[in-house]
Every structure is written in structure tokens, then in C-alpha cells.
């Protein structure tokens, strides 16, 4: 049997030294202190570089749709390169749809960006997950993945609050996520198979959105969910996204809507902008541009224009009803006209991204925010003068204390103490009685005796 090989002469097998648990704890605490100091430094720098541009909705002066009392919010994508192809003045002949749309031929990235951010935030636990933070997270993911699209948020009225926690349910649910009414959703995915403008990801977008809305409380039964996909091998019960079927689905979504209801519309496909002649002689514009959604039978039926969606769906919603829309339109604009919209400027985006990185919540304690702002408004020279004044006061107090101590050790107290002791001895010698005077103040007693 072969013997085990021995290590060469002079070679040693160094055993690892035991790790000192206390040193490890001290190192971790030091690391945390450095990390917290770095975070506070970034927060101070962030407060000094306030965006200067308030995050608020802007009224669209070109919008022809009135404001609504319902809670209507829409996420859409706006390309940083182009706003979409505009069809010819004839309107219905050519739609200018691209051969390939976006990265990988996908029909848009709005819903994908939302779902990726929500999944990431569940893992990282950000300080808040408001509507504003969600927009920043979506734009960050789109930029990271190489898309030229930036998210845009539109609202039906100016009462929308960016700082409210993000939820596709009715705002009456607040943070409890408990339904205050019924839910209804319409999910539309158009891949346009067999055409020169075919897409790749619209059907998958619908499947992902279907799973997400079910996870947050939307019902997926036949009375609460309608799915339209132009998939020839699709599931039974799914309708083809023709223009007629989509308009019927919008009618069904708004049918019987009441206060407390939560409605959702998701469209993944092509969007276009078409020109139509002016409606009347009194119109100043000779040609009116309208955005629209492109159904699978667009070649024969044409697009679904924004005014049609406005009349069929948005204008029929009562006060207290909620509608959230996600429009993944690669080349179209909003496709649904809402009077108020918002898009992050580069400065706002940089500020909000840094705020999320340092863990600074969007809705802070008002008193703490006021104190921080006041402290940061004080010039550095004033802070330096205060520090110098404090040090001078400390030095002065030490000097005065030394003078008093020197006075206590001076000749006069020593003379009094010596004469007192001499007097005690004389009395004891003459009378034989020991005399002891006890002052009432202990400090004086210790000082003299």
C-alpha cells in the first residue's frame, strides 16, 4: 500500500489564526460609522443642491379635454428622440408605423419598467414607494436598459399628490390596500403578427400585468377582467384586439362605475399621431393632430383616437372612482387626452435619484425638515464664529478657576489657619480643655481645618 506523501523538509502547514471576535465587532462598528458619516455628508450636499423646480403637474394648454372629478392617472412613454410619426393630411391612409419599435422590437417599456422597479423595491426596501419615487425608479431602469423612452404621468385634475404611496387601487384604500369597491381591468396586447410592423413583447406584457394586478387585489374572474390579444393560439375567452372589440371593452370598463371602484387599462402595442381637418370654420388651426391607439385591424378600420377614449371612458367616470392607465405605445403620444401632465426634468431626476440613494424619504417630518433647512441656511462663517466663541468661553472659565484656586492657597488663609491652631494649643495648656469650633458650612471647615 503506498504511503502517504510527506511534506518536504522545512515546509510548515501554517494554521489560520483564530479570528478575534471583538476586533471583528469593532471593525464592523467603525465601518457602519464611516458609512453613516458618508451618508450624512451626501444628505447635506443634497439639501444644499435643492432642485429649485417644484414637482407639480403642468396644465396642458393644447388639451381639448376638460378636467374630471374622478381619480384618473396615466403612465405613458415619451421618446427622447422623436414624438412619433405623423400621418399625412388625409388622415386614414398611412400611419407612419415603424418596422421595428424600440429595443428588441418590443411594443413599449412602460409596464416593464414599472414591474421591474416594484420587484426591486420589494428587495431593497426603499424609504418610501410614492408615485414620484416610482417614476424615478422607472426612468432609472429604462436608462439602464438602453431605452430612449422616459415615463410621463398625466392626471385628470390637479389634486394629484406625488407623495402619496403608489397603488393602482382606489385612493380610498389608503395604506390598508383593502378594497372599497369593485375592480375591473382591460388588458390589450397587439403584436400585429404577419405585418411589417410586428412586435415581440406585447403578449408577454399582458401576461405580466395580469399576474401583477392579481397580486395587489384585482379580481381575475370573467366579470372583472377582459383580455384582448391578437394571438392565434391564445387562450379561450380572449378576444381579438380589433377596433370594435376595443371600443366595446372600453364601454364595458366604464359601465356601472361608482365611487370607490378601481379600474385599470393597459395597452401594449403601437400608437400613432394623425392629422385630421379642422372640425369647423371657427377653428384657428387648419389641421388638428390627434394621438391614437392602433388595433390589429388598423389597415381597414383605422386607429382609435384620443377623443374617442375620452368620450367613451374618461368622461363617464363619477367622482370618487379611480382609473389607472398604462399605455405602452412605442410611437404614439398620450393616446388619451388628460389636461395635466408631468415629466421629470434632468435636474429633478438627478436630485430624486440621489435622494433615493441616501435613503431620504419624500415625505419628511415638517419640524425636522424646518430645522435642517434653518441650520443649512446659516453661513459657515457664523458657525465658525460660534465655535471660536465657545472655545474662548471654556478657556476663560479655566483661567478664572485657576486664579481662584491660587487665591485659596495664598498667604491669608494659611495665616488664619496657623493662628487658629496656636489659639487652641494655648487654651488647652492653660485650662486643660480641648476647644473645637465646628463651622456650619462643611466647605469652610475643610478649607480652614
pTM over 0.85: no
Q: Is the pLDDT of residue 88 over 50?
A: no
* DSSP H or E segment with residue 417: helix 411-431
Kindly indicate the confidence band of residue 213, based on its pLDDT and cuts at 50, 70 and 90.
very high
Question: Over 223-270, what HEC string results?
Answer: CCEEEEECCCCCCCCCECCCHHHHHHHHHHHHCCCCCCCEEEEEEEEC
Kindly indicate the confidence band of residue 443, based on its pLDDT and cuts at 50, 70 and 90.
very low
pLDDT of res. 433: 67
The domain ranges of the chain are: 58-370, 380-448
Mean pLDDT of 47-62: 75
**Taking all residues of the chain, what is their mean pLDDT, rounded to a whole number?**
76
Kindly indicate the confidence band of residue 244, based on its pLDDT and cuts at 50, 70 and 90.
very high
Tens digit of each residue's pLDDT (9 = 90 or more) over 302-315: 888 888 898 999 99
* Strongest mean pLDDT among 244-253, 344-353, 367-376: 244-253
Kindly indicate the confidence band of residue 284, based on its pLDDT and cuts at 50, 70 and 90.
low
Q: Which CATH class is domain 58-370?
A: alpha beta
Share of the chain above pLDDT 90, in %: 13
Residue 177 backbone zone (phi > 0: left; psi -120 to 50: alpha; other: beta):
left
Mean pLDDT of 17-37: 76
Tens digit of each residue's pLDDT (9 = 90 or more) over 333-343: 556 888 898 88
Q: Is the pLDDT of residue 446 over 50?
A: no
Backbone angles phi, psi at 334, to 5 degrees: -75, -30
Rg of the chain on CA atoms, in Å: 38
Tens digit of each residue's pLDDT (9 = 90 or more) over 185-208: 999 999 888 888 888 888 888 999
Amino acid at each position: 500500500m503506498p504511503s502517504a506523501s510527506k511534506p518536504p523538509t522545512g515546509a510548515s502547514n501554517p494554521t489560520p489564526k483564530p479570528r478575534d471576535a471583538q476586533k471583528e465587532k469593532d471593525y464592523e462598528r467603525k465601518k457602519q460609522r464611516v458609512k453613516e458619516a458618508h451618508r450624512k455628508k451626501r444628505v447635506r450636499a443634497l439639501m444644499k443642491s435643492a432642485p429649485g423646480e417644484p414637482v407639480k403637474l403642468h396644465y396642458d394648454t393644447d388639451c381639448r379635454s376638460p378636467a374630471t372629478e374622478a381619480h384618473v392617472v396615466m403612465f405613458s412613454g415619451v421618446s427622447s428622440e422623436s414624438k412619433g410619426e405623423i400621418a399625412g393630411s388625409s388622415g386614414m391612409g398611412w400611419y407612419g408605423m415603424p418596422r421595428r419599435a424600440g429595443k428588441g422590437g418590443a411594443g413599449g417599456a412602460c409596464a416593464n419598467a414599472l414591474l421591474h422597479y416594484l420587484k426591486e423595491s420589494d428587495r431593497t426596501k426603499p424609504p418610501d414607494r410614492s408615485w414620484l419615487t416610482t417614476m424615478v425608479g422607472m426612468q432609472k431602469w429604462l436608462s439602464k436598459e438602453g431605452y430612449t423612452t422616459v415615463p410621463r404621468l398625466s392626471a385628470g385634475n390637479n389634486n394629484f399628490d406625488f407623495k402619496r404611496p403608489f397603488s393602482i387601487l382606489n385612493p380610498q384604500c389608503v395604506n390598508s390596500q383593502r378594497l372599497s369597491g369593485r375592480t375591473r381591468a382591460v388588458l390589450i396586447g397587439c403584436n400585429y403578427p404577419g405585418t411589417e410592423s410586428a412586435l415581440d413583447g406585447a403578449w408577454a406584457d399582458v401576461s405580466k400585468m395580469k399576474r401583477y394586478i392579481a397580486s395587489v387585489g384585482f379580481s381575475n374572474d370573467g366579470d372583472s377582467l377582459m383580455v384582448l390579444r391578437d394571438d392565434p393560439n391564445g387562450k379561450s375567452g380572449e378576444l381579438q384586439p380589433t377596433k370594435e372589440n376595443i371600443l366595446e371593452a372600453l364601454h364595458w370598463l366604464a359601465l356601472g362605475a361608482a365611487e370607490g371602484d378601481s379600474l385599470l387599462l393597459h395597452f401594449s402595442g403601437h400608437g400613432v399621431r394623425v392629422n385630421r381637418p379642422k372640425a369647423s370654420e371657427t377653428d384657428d388651426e387648419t389641421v388638428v393632430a390627434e394621438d391614437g391607439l392602433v388595433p390589429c385591424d388598423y389597415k381597414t378600420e383605422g386607429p382609435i383616437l384620443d377623443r374617442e377614449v375620452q368620450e367613451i371612458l374618461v368622461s363617464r367616470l363619477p367622482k370618487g372612482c379611480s382609473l389607472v392607465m398604462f399605455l405602452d405605445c412605442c410611437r404614439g403620444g398620450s393616446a388619451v387626452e388628460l389636461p395635466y401632465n408631468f415629466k421629470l426634468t434632468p435636474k429633478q431626476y438627478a436630485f430624486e435619484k440621489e435622494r433615493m440613494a441616501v435613503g431620504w424619504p419624500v415625505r419628511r417630518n415638517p419640524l425636522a425638515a424646518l430645522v435642517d433647512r434653518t441650520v443649512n441656511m446659516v453661513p459657515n462663517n457664523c458657525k465658525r464664529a460660534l465655535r471660536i466663541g465657545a472655545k474662548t468661553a471654556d478657556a476663560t472659565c479655566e483661567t478664572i478657576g485657576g486664579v481662584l484656586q491660587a487665591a485659596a492657597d495664598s498667604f491669608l488663609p494659611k495665616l488664619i489657619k496657623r493662628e487658629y491652631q496656636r489659639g487652641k494649643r494655648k487654651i488647652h495648656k492653660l485650662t486643660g480643655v480641648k476647644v473645637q469650633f465646628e463651622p456650619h458650612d462643611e466647605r469652610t471647615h475643610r478649607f480652614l481645618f
